[in-house]
Amino acid sequence: MAKGTGAGSAKGNTSGRGQRDLKVRVKTAKGRKMSSKLWLERQLNDPYVARAKREGYRGRAAYKILELDDKYRFLVPGARVVDLGCAPGGWCQVAVARVNALGEKGGKSVGRVLGVDLQEVDAIAGAEIHVLDFLEEGADQKVKDWLGGRADVVMSDMAAASSGHKNTDHLRIVALVEAAAAFAFDVLEPGGTFVAKVLAGGAELEMQTMLKKNFTKVANVKPPASRSDSSEKFVVAQGFRGRPDETAEDADGDL
């Protein structure tokens, strides 16, 4: 997406000669694993990595949530957002700007951004960051207390630690997304949105069924910022129907 960052952007190079020389190459140092070399080379040549550094984002993943929001429009001014597993903070940075958490958009509602992670995360202006395991008992109530109410958006870019076994990793991330969805059911306002990373692999049918039961619209999308060789995709579930027990209580006038 970022024009002028590719290998062929050098002025005067119309024949294609020398383009390979312009591409950053990483020599294999003694003792360096080939996989590490390839990862580093890919990072150095990734236009999203360069763009993130230029625009002040903490990682290229920021562009994934930017592209998803450009399409589905869930990070609106005034929204209250929870970012699960928020380290290193790129998604929080995007959310702060889009929901107007700093109040910089005159005349627009001011939103809230709450990030939680198992580890300490460097402070982000406009976001409230907490060390919290969202799986622990009472985590949903802590989040609602911190927010001062329910959330409009729960989002997650979390991935389980890789085991090196593709099927095992797929099952782990599906389980993680299901846990994040269950958490979202506890903290979302009716009409709210749940966004999460998943891995394509065929074991997520039950999860998709669960989401379609609880949301009016469920989309599965691979944003342009997601690397083409990655099996990741994102689920965007909008129009939370509300918990059945709470819906019943609302109808009886008990809330």
pLDDT of residue 194: 98
List domains and CATH numbers for the chain.
Answer: 17-51 (no CATH), 59-250 (3.40.50.150)
Tokens at 234, concatenated = 């994102």
Q: Is the peptide bond before 88 cis (omega within 30 degrees of 0)?
A: yes
Q: Which residues are annotated as a binding site for S-adenosyl-L-methionine?
A: 89, 91, 117, 133, 157
pLDDT of residue 49: 83
Task: Provide the 8-state DSSP code for 230.
Answer: -
Q: 119, 134 in Cβ contact below 8 A?
A: no
Per the residue annotation, which of 64, 108, 142, 197 is the catalytic one? Answer: 197
Sign, Cα dihedral of 176, 166, 238, 72: positive
> How confident is the chain (255 residues) per 10-residue block, as mean pLDDT?
37 36 43 52 65 89 97 98 97 98 94 97 98 96 97 93 74 90 97 92 78 96 87 94 68 47
Cβ atoms < 10 Å from Cβ of 161: 6
pLDDT of residue 246: 63
| Whole-number Å distance between alpha carbons of 98 and 86 | 16
Verify whether residue 144 is a known catalytic residue: no
The annotation places the binding site at 89, 91, 117, 133, 157
pLDDT at 229: 76
